[in-house]
Amino acid sequence: MKKVYAINACVLVLIFLTAGIIARPSDYNGEMKNLISQRTEVLNDFYDGSRDFDTSRDKLELLESGRLLKTDVAAMKAYQSTDIDQVVNYKIKIKSCKKTSYGIIKGKAEIRWVMRSVNDTREEKYLYYFTGEINQKNTKLTQLKKI
């Protein structure tokens, strides 16, 4: 009878441990939030003039790849000598994030932007779809699209 209780107790402990692992938030939430945050900082530093084009592009190449990198570099070239609204503050909240069997991370994030223009300061909130690609060394942001 004691063996039955011991086996039942072991099975229950195993079930609770497995449930805890499954219920644990994705490890990629923080990583994707960090990539989006770093991207925002690099672009904001470029647009406010505190970082030059080549340095900004090099930093973006460490964070991004694919179409997102090409789009950001093209936007930097287009807006290089114009006034653009500056990001004063932002908050990123990951709504969902999961890793696919192909090594792609995808999910949704809500970003609240506080923007300053020549005339005023305003707050905007948008929902974004993001993807990231896991390489041997690191993860890179491949898409950040407003929904």
Read off the amino acid at residue 32.
M
CA dihedral angle for residue 77, residue 144, residue 58, residue 85, rounded to 10 degrees: 50
Q: What is the pLDDT of residues 58-85, one digit of tens each?
A: 999 999 999 999 999 999 988 876 777 8
What confidence tier does 23 reach under pLDDT thresholds 50, 70, 90? very low
**Overall size of the chain counted in residues:** 147
Q: Is 116 or 24 the better-scoring residue by pLDDT?
A: 116
The first and second tokens of residue 2, run together, are 């004691």
Distance in angstroms (rounded) separating the CA atoms of residues 16 and 64: 38
Q: Rounded to a whole number, what is the largest CA-CA distance in the chain?
A: 81
Distance in angstroms (rounded) separating the CA atoms of residues 111 and 34: 13
What confidence tier does 26 reach under pLDDT thresholds 50, 70, 90? low
> How confident is the model at residue 18, as a pLDDT?
57
Angle at CA of residue 131, ends 18 and 49, nearest 5°: 130
DSSP letters of the chain?
Answer: -HHHHHHHHHHHHHHHHHHHHHHSPPTHHHHHHHHHHHHHHHHHHHHTTSS-HHHHHHHHHHHB-HHHHHHHHHHHHHTTTS---EEEEEEEEEEEEEE-TTSEEEEEEEEEEEEE-SS-EEEEEEEEEEEEEE-SS-EEEEEEEE-
